[in-house]
Amino acid sequence: MIAGDAVEPPALAPNDLAYDIDGVRCQPCRMVRIEVPSAGDMQMVLTWQTPPRLTLFAGGMRVTSDSGSAEGFLTIPTPRDLIVYVGADSARDHTKFKLATTRPGS
């Protein structure tokens, strides 16, 4: 995805991959790559149907919520690809989610 877009990846599933992010285990977890073509502040908004509680990991930031939405801001110093992770505390069912971003500098 490109910063400024929204994406609805395949639903998180109980058998999705596990990642260790800054000492925190994310499982089940989904990785999303975001092309960030400009420097500046970028907002990320994650939305889903509850339960479960989801966590958004991005650039050293971790935002957890069980309310069906989570929001975070990052300052992007230079254009780059940003790897973002979305994970559930537990997933017995498939969890659909949407990740929307703003384009830095706009």
Kindly report, residue by residue over 7-26, the tens digit of the pLDDT: 999 999 988 999 999 999 99
C-alpha span between 102 and 92 (Å, rounded): 31
Query: Stretch 18-46: mean pLDDT, rounded?
Result: 95
Query: Stretch 34-48: mean pLDDT, rounded?
Result: 97
pTM: 0.92
What's the pLDDT score for residue 91? Answer: 66
Cβ partners under 8 Å of residue 9, min gap 6: 30, 32, 86, 97, 99
Span 6-101 CATH architecture: Sandwich (2.60)
Question: Please, which pLDDT band fits residue 40 given cuts at 50, 70 and 90?
Answer: very high
